[in-house]
Structure 1
Amino acid sequence: MYAILDIETTGGKYNEEGITEIAIYKFDGHKVVDQFISLVNPEKEIQPFVVKLTGINNNMLATAPKFHEVAKRIVEITDGATLVAHNAQFDYRILQTEFRRLGYDYQRKSVCTVELAKELIPDQPSYSLGKLVRSLGIPVSDRHRANGDAQATVKLFKMLLAKDTSKKIVQNNIRAENIGQLNPKLIDIVEQLPTSVGVFYVHNTEGEVIFLSKSSNIQKRVNQLFASSSKKNKRLQKEVKAVTYEETGNELIALLKENSEVKKSTPIYNVKNKKLFSHALYSKESKEGYLTLKIGKADNRKQYITTFSSYQQAYNVLHAIDEEFTLCNKLNGLSEAKKNCYNYTIEKCFGACTNEEPPSIYNKRVRKAIYKYGFQDTSFIISDRGRNINERSVILIQNGEFKGFGFYELNHQINNIAILESIITPMENTTDTKHIIQSYLRKKKSPKIVSL
């Protein structure tokens, strides 16, 4: 659990500042579950430059509660949570100073989004909150007011969690929270999980990920894992400390995250070196000059159009391609006819198998098929469902290479290539990621493809 906060102060000498406004959002890693926003009477004058910066003046605070009147609420909403702030050292110091004046020793673990952003979003021109969120396309209102800045920090932190593919933030938080000597029973863990699509992570007592998997229903999949009586899963159940998750909004991002993170963190209970495809579709020119499409064993040393998990899947897709683009089954190895293919007799083949259709005309349709199903050297984005109703997801392909994924709320975030690249969580372009994307696009009709 995280308490994302922003504090405005009177300004003045070090450790003599007073709080003028505070906003705290309790965040479970996915959504805000509680909030506290209040002006605070600092019982001292506000520095003129602060009044100009924030718009908060002494008259506004005359009837506001004093810090001792809101202290209990601050303790409650941050209890058991890690404090998150932009320049957390400042906000945490101010809080500790105020509590010290009341004779209370206020201790919390803290995380700074400035430091996280420098690590996870390098090479930004500025890491000040206003300039950083603007460069990332994150909307912010009421800049230099506690509530506006805290809301922007929530959105920034959510993006940083998505970019933290090594799960350092979550791992450190699990250690810090010290959830207790597990057992909350496994069923209690399951009940707290969503029924949405995403990736879940099983952690041991050290916070390490020992198993991860994607699912279209996270709660159902974890319940099956904990109910399993296999020897391997019985051992896993004894080591469970916590289960965290990331909602992805759609299955494609879940598949890509699962593939990438299994390879990166190699959890001990995941299958090692799982092979995703066995066959591929290749293109070759016949001696008569016709471009042919042939199914063969997958070989990464050869250039292929697309890949398949089995020969039968390849066979079915090639049949569909032949029908979609009016290609010849005989040329493509799907017919063993000696003279002409069956489609020629029913006028669904224009005679490439009998050399009646010129190769130059036939090959245009083959190239269209290769372009659609291979996306070599093409640049586009795949826009699909996001994690909530106001959000969309984006997958970026540049020059035929998978660059990564991200989430956006406003169309200008994907229409501006600089912002698009900054909101993307980079992922490695591999034969597996290409297979996952191509297989998904062949099966699903929901994603929107936008050429760049």
Structure 2
Amino acid sequence: MVNPERDIQPFVVNLTGINSNMLKNAPKFYEIAKRIIEITEDCIIVAHNSEFDYRILRTEFNRLGYDYKRKTLCTVELSKDLIPDQPSYSLGKLVRSLGIPVTDRHRANGDALATVKLFKLLQTKDTTKKIIQSSIKEGQKRNKIDNKLIDIIEPLPTITGVYYIQKKGGDIIYIGKSRNIKRRVNQHFTATDTKSKKIQLHVSAVSYEETGSELVALLKENEEIKRLKPIYNRARKRTHFTHALYAFKDKNGYINLKIDVADGRKHPITTFSNKQSAKHFIEHHVEAYNFCLQLTGLGATNSEKPCFNHSLKTCHGACIKEESAAEYNLRVQELIDKNSYAHKNMIIVDRGRDIDERSAIYIKNGQFEGLGFFNLNFQINNISVLESIITKMENNRDTQHIIQSYLRSHKKIKIIQLPS
């Protein structure tokens, strides 16, 4: 609360519930002006309809004879650009339509917290990084930290997320992801390989986007390297996974599994970064599911002789038709269902950026739709709200590989199956 040293107009009382009696003991503006200058130094003011708030601040400081100047970002303008076709862009109606909780409406604390959550959503949807680049350009005018690497590293956090290395002027020259951004950037700045030396020479600033979830960081890094094509990111090859698991039925009706070189013309169950990890995967599941060695490509294909595991009684005899195709195929299909999300509607729920937040990776009809963050369960149980908070992203072989690989190594991750 701030005492305006005048009566509150009736329409403001009706709007906010704040009256003159409530402000009698509140500080006057000149008493808090120094603190406002301190907490906004080297900052960008983010506000919903920032032109109004900034004009009020400028007017009050002018009365004190101080020329107050700060850069601003308006979440109304950003929302119109990044979340088009909303029925209303007033703060209350907009956050409600996005499933963002808001309390103490028209009070500083409630409105500010709602604006923070809205701004985080806008940052997620800002795939071209207009917000980051405009922020860095302004900061560059003030800070002049070209090549002072220690000054760039010092304020970086030790969090999971995506980081953007930029040259003077704000252009992004390298994008990476890490579970510890500060440590990873420090590695770039201390390495002696040719690429690292070039980054060290041209870097002017490092900005970052917290994701909480390593899976979200992987997907964002993949998407934005392709979109922005930073000069020091080697183009991500579409074959950075080399092998895949395929399934086919033989002449006797048994589902065979086969590890082979990844082929973009075929539809794999899942993909692998190298042949060794693929072989380890199939060997593990042969043991777990009592699969036949011959039907998984690990044994000699000979329909007249049993496989080696049959003698150990870990194969039930599919190789010599002792086990029916129907029974054997049930176990194979279980493996396929666990490791492929083809034709599925589901949400992968992972860590968020705050303790009360979660991330959501949305799969619709077997296609990766995008990702977002939520605070309340109704946001992901209501499909229309879910789709409004999700940032659309490209579905391709790389995203499928990233998601499937992550699910293989994080078996306890929460998955919500949605109705078809």
Using structure 1 for the length normalisation, give the TM-score: 0.87
| Preserved CA contact (<8 Å) 2:348 2:362 | yes
Provide Cα deviations, 1:216-274, integer angstroms capped at 9, x if missing partner: 22222111111112222212111111111122223211111111111111110111133
Distance 1:344 1:377 in 2: 34
**Which residue of 2 is the match for residue 288 of structure 1?**
252
Distance 1:216 1:53 in 2: 45
**Which residue of 2 is the match for residue 219 of structure 1?**
182
The one-letter code matched in structure 2 to 1:180 is: N
Aligned: 1:96 with 2:62: no
Greater Cα offset, 57-66 or 279-288: 57-66
| Preserved CA contact (<8 Å) 2:147 2:203 | no
- Residue 183 of structure 1 and its aligned partner are, at CA, apart by 4.3
Of 391, 398, 402, 1:436 maps to 402
Task: Give the gaps of 5 or more residues in structure 1.
Answer: 1-38
| Preserved CA contact (<8 Å) 1:384 1:446 | no
Aligned: 1:348 with 2:311: no
- Residue 47 of structure 1 and its aligned partner are, at CA, apart by 2.2
**Which residue of 2 is the match for residue 259 of structure 1?**
222
Aligned: 1:151 with 2:113: yes
- Residue 366 of structure 1 and its aligned partner are, at CA, apart by 1.8
The one-letter code matched in structure 2 to 1:401 is: Q
Distance 1:303 1:232 in 2: 36
**Which residue of 2 is the match for residue 165 of structure 1?**
127
Of 155, 165, 169, 1:202 maps to 165
**Which residue of 2 is the match for residue 306 of structure 1?**
270
| Preserved CA contact (<8 Å) 1:319 1:329 | no
Cα 1:220–1:63 change in 2 (3 A) is closer
The one-letter code matched in structure 1 to 2:154 is: E
Distance 1:296 1:337 in 2: 16
| Preserved CA contact (<8 Å) 2:245 2:258 | yes
**Which residue of 2 is the match for residue 414 of structure 1?**
380
Provide Cα deviations, 1:374-403, integer angstroms capped at 9, x if missing partner: 110011111122223222222111111111
Distance 2:9 2:182 in 1: 52
Q: SS at the partner of 1:214?
A: strand
Q: SS at the partner of 2:177?
A: strand
Of 318, 328, 350, 1:362 maps to 328
**Which residue of 2 is the match for residue 329 of structure 1?**
293
Aligned: 1:399 with 2:365: yes
- Residue 337 of structure 1 and its aligned partner are, at CA, apart by 5.8
- Residue 160 of structure 1 and its aligned partner are, at CA, apart by 1.3
Stretches of 4+ aligned residues off by more than 3 angstroms: none
- Residue 129 of structure 1 and its aligned partner are, at CA, apart by 0.6
Query: Percent same amino acid at aligned positions?
Result: 58
Q: SS at the partner of 2:293?
A: coil
Distance 2:355 2:33 in 1: 35
Using structure 2 for the length normalisation, give the TM-score: 0.94
| Preserved CA contact (<8 Å) 1:203 1:211 | yes
The one-letter code matched in structure 2 to 1:324 is: A
Q: SS at the partner of 1:148?
A: helix
**Which residue of 1 is the match for residue 8 of structure 2?**
46
Distance 2:5 2:159 in 1: 48
Q: SS at the partner of 1:357?
A: coil
Distance 2:293 2:201 in 1: 55
Cα 1:152–1:321 change in 2 (3 A) is same
Greater Cα offset, 349-358 or 318-327: 318-327
Aligned: 1:67 with 2:33: no
Total equivalences in the alignment: 414
**Which residue of 2 is the match for residue 424 of structure 1?**
390
| Preserved CA contact (<8 Å) 1:201 1:212 | yes
| Preserved CA contact (<8 Å) 1:413 1:420 | yes
Q: SS at the partner of 1:331?
A: helix
Provide Cα deviations, 1:75-125, integer angstroms capped at 9, x if missing partner: 222222111110112111222222233333222211110111122222322
Distance 2:64 2:198 in 1: 49
Of 371, 388, 395, 2:354 maps to 388
Of 85, 89, 112, 2:74 maps to 112
Distance 2:353 2:411 in 1: 19
Q: Tell me how large the CA RMSD over aligned residues is.
A: 1.7
Cα 1:353–1:179 change in 2 (3 A) is farther
